[in-house]
């Protein structure tokens, strides 16, 4: 049985000047990162046309290209968060199953050194009207966490009419950790897994901005279920 979800502790909103500085920094830093990533992407695309590449080199190149695509999606998400609430959003029709399958394919290389099963269960195939990269970043972070904190068993992604769930059989979280899970850079006591500590925080903030609550249910030693609950359309 999953533990009841504690209400996360939410820090007071920063003063208007501080919030504006944070948005400016996020926007400027994201723009600065675009240039080197574009160079890497263009260079890797050119290398891909080299007929003399070995199979091993092509696999490594594919991982570089996937990483660049993931970073470009994160930058788009940060720029999205840097916009003020009144700014118009660029939205499009997003086929959720396509995003889910793409992110599952992206995370599969991380399973090579673990004996984990990864399954997709499709109960519905919703289409959302939303900024195209938001769901990609949210789901990518949830899948990365599920694989990082699971050493045995597996990960199941469930696609439903009103949500997408990522459930793992990993280490789980106690109530104290759950209450702080969305805090930037927070790691549970004694946590020895590598990570920036930003993934859940970014996913949570994106969900808030879109009206898609991110819910965590977890039991220590049994695993965690993370759910993105589709509410109103992002563009509304």
**22: which 2 tokens?**
């944070």
Tell me: pLDDT of 12 over 60: no
Residue 186 confidence (pLDDT): 66
**pLDDT tens for each residue of 129-175:** 888 778 988 998 899 889 888 988 999 999 999 999 999 999 999 99
Could you tell me the pLDDT band of residue 1, with boundaries at 50, 70 and 90? very low
Greatest mean pLDDT among 47-51, 71-75, 201-205, 222-226: 222-226
Q: Answer with the residue of higher pLDDT: 221 or 109.
A: 221
β partners of residue 129: 93
Phi, psi of 185 (to 5 degrees): 70, 5
Give the right CATH number for 16-82 from 1.10.287, 3.40.220, 3.40.50, 3.30.70.
1.10.287
Instruction: Report the distance separating Cα 5 and Cα 214, nearest Å.
Output: 11
**8: which 2 tokens?**
């996360």
Give the right CATH number for 92-229 from 3.20.20.70, 3.30.565.10, 3.40.640.10, 1.10.760.10.
3.30.565.10
**53: which 2 tokens?**
């590449």
């Amino acid at each position: 049985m999953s533990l009841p979800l504690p209400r996360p502790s939410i820090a007071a909103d920063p003063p208007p000047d501080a919030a504006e500085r944070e948005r400016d920094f996020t926007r400027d830093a994201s723009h600065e990162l675009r240039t080197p990533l574009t160079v890497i992407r263009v260079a890797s695309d050119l290398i891909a046309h080299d007929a003399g590449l070995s199979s091993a080199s092509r696999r490594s190149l594919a991982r570089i290209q996937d990483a660049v695509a993931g970073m470009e999606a994160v930058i788009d998400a940060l720029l999205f968060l840097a916009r003020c609430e009144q700014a118009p959003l660029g939205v499009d029709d997003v086929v959720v199953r396509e995003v889910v399958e793409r992110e599952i394919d992206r995370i599969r290389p991380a399973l090579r050194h673990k004996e984990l099963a990864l399954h997709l269960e499709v109960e519905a195939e919703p289409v959302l009207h939303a900024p195209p990269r938001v769901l990609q970043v949210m789901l990518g972070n949830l899948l990365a966490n599920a694989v990082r904190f699971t050493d045995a068993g597996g990960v199941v992604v469930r696609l439903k009419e009103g949500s997408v769930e990522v459930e793992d059989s990993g280490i789980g979280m106690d109530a104290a950790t759950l209450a702080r899970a969305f805090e930037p850079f927070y790691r549970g006591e004694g946590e020895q897994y590598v990570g920036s500590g930003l993934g859940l925080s970014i996913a949570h903030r994106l969900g808030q901005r879109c009206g898609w609550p991110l819910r965590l249910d977890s039991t220590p030693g049994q695993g965690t279920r993370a759910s993105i609950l589709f509410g109103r359309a992002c563009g509304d």
